[in-house]
Structure 1
Amino acid sequence: MTGRTPPARAPHDDDAAVRLAGVQVAAPGGPILLDGVDLYLTAPRVAVVGENGSGKSTLARAVAGLAEVTAGEVAVHGVDAVRDVKALRRTVGMVFANPAAQMVMPTVREDVELTVKALTDDAGRRLSRAEVAARVDAALAEHRLTDLAERPCLSLSSGQAQRLAMCSVLVGAPRLVIADEPTSLLDGRHRRIVADRLLCGAERGEFQLLLVTHDLDLARACDAAVWVHSGRVERHGPAAETVAAYEAFLDDAVARELA
């Protein structure tokens, strides 16, 4: 559908939550991808699980303002995600499965610097060159990228590139980090590095994490989980219980296939 009239006001009752009310997302001229989604997410770490094509990535993209919401309301930490996309960009950071999709500058340092140059100080002033350089250096050190600072982004391994993508997102201090299969292309070492940084950062209260994943061990490490099935929320609750219910569904589906 097109020509949607946005709601006059998104719900702002909780500035530390993600809320979806009656959300529908339809492909242009195609099927409905999400239908009637109602969620209120306050847990520090929320996993989103479901089969391929279930709508879990569409849900993440709707929260990030990357998918057109054709009905309903989305509010992210007090920001209307449908009407105020500019404010949403300052509130949400997104880490994709393929880091090449978000590396836009020639070198590692320049890619991190691009985010930092858009930041302001507590008085709303742009950062000085010295402040930008200091923040970039600190971020590179935190993510063990200092030795790669002058390397071309396209020369990085998959693991290094994902660490850069995560660094470039986190240096902007988003209130919500959405990670869509951030470990799917990584080896075991980098999988642990990326997963630990995201999970521990959210646990420390640096940001809220919305983690889309097929890795059910990773999902269980979260505080809450959302199981998406056929464009609807099948279950939402504590991660262990929700993942267990999803696993039971998968076991039944496999048993039927093999019968």
Structure 2
Amino acid sequence: MGVTLDIENVSLTLDGRAILRGVTLRGDEARIGIVGRNGSGKSTLARVIAGLQSVDTGRVRIGGIDVARDRRGAIRTVGILFQNPDHQIIFPTVDEEIAFGLRQLGQSKTEAAEGVRAILARFGKAHWAGAAIHPLSQGQKQLVCLMSILAMRPALIVLDEPLSGLDIPTRMQLMRYLDRAEAQLIHISHDPELLAGYDRALWITDGQIAEDGVPDRVLPAFTAEMQRLGGMDDIADLAG
């Protein structure tokens, strides 16, 4: 089991649109999958869990830490891996990118440098030391983001569609890295196949939890509904 994730009655409206509607979730499973259509609110929920998005009502606690109110505690407890690494990476070299998070934890330059060397060695990427990030492939950039998170040793990692847009071999390689992660994972995706075998699955629709339970029940129900919608002639219903 991982740390306890406690989401209590979270609601959020942005630009006059209700994005999340009274979402409540409590769990400590090691692998939790959250599935939903584009526009269902799942990516916003990912940011809320990571403490990056404030809410109108409710609160999120991870291991007892209120991620919205205790930013230092949140940084130590939860990391997030976004869909596009270019939206996450802020430094020009691999070393600087990984060291940034360690410095946020209060480590000295010397301590952070040692942490960088350790995580690169752990992933067999010692030759990336000092390397520029811009020539790396999308999958390699995503790996830099993952190493940056794992170097901080968070208890929980939120995955917000980080495998979208990657080719099959790269996706498989990153999944192996993620499967070996000691942290609890909350994996958000529109692809139910990526969440098969998880401990728990939730289906988000219109900012609410439609189904919550074992993946063998929740994921087929989601797939059946998506196939039903896909078989309709009115494309207006597919705008979400």
Aligned-residue offset at 1:41 = 2.0
Matching residue of 2:87: 101
Secondary structure of 1:74 counterpart = strand
Cα 1:55–1:128 shift into 2, 3 Å: closer
Matching residue of 1:247: 223
Q: Is the 8 A contact 2:2 2:183 kept in 1?
A: no
Q: Does 1:83 align with 2:69?
A: yes
Amino acid at match of 2:200: A
Moved more, 81-90 or 47-56: 81-90
Runs (5+) with no aligned partner, structure 1: 1-13, 121-125
Where in structure 2 are the equivalents of 1:112-191 lying within 5 Å? 112-119=98-105, 126-127=107-108, 129=110, 131-191=111-171
Write the distance in 1 (CA, Å) between the matches of 2:154 and 2:53.
19
Write the distance in 1 (CA, Å) between the matches of 2:7 and 2:121.
37
* Runs of 4 or more above 4 Å deviation: none
Amino acid at match of 2:216: A
Amino acid at match of 2:3: A
Q: Does 1:24 align with 2:4?
A: no
Q: Is the 8 A contact 2:93 2:133 kept in 1?
A: yes
Computed over aligned residues only, the root mean square deviation of the Cα atoms, in angstroms, reads 2.1
Amino acid at match of 1:41: G
Amino acid at match of 2:10: V
Secondary structure of 1:100 counterpart = helix
State the TM-score, normalizing by the size of structure 1: 0.84
Q: Does 1:221 align with 2:197?
A: yes
Q: Is the 8 A contact 2:85 2:141 kept in 1?
A: yes
Identical-residue share of aligned pairs (%): 34
Q: Is the 8 A contact 1:25 1:67 kept in 2?
A: no
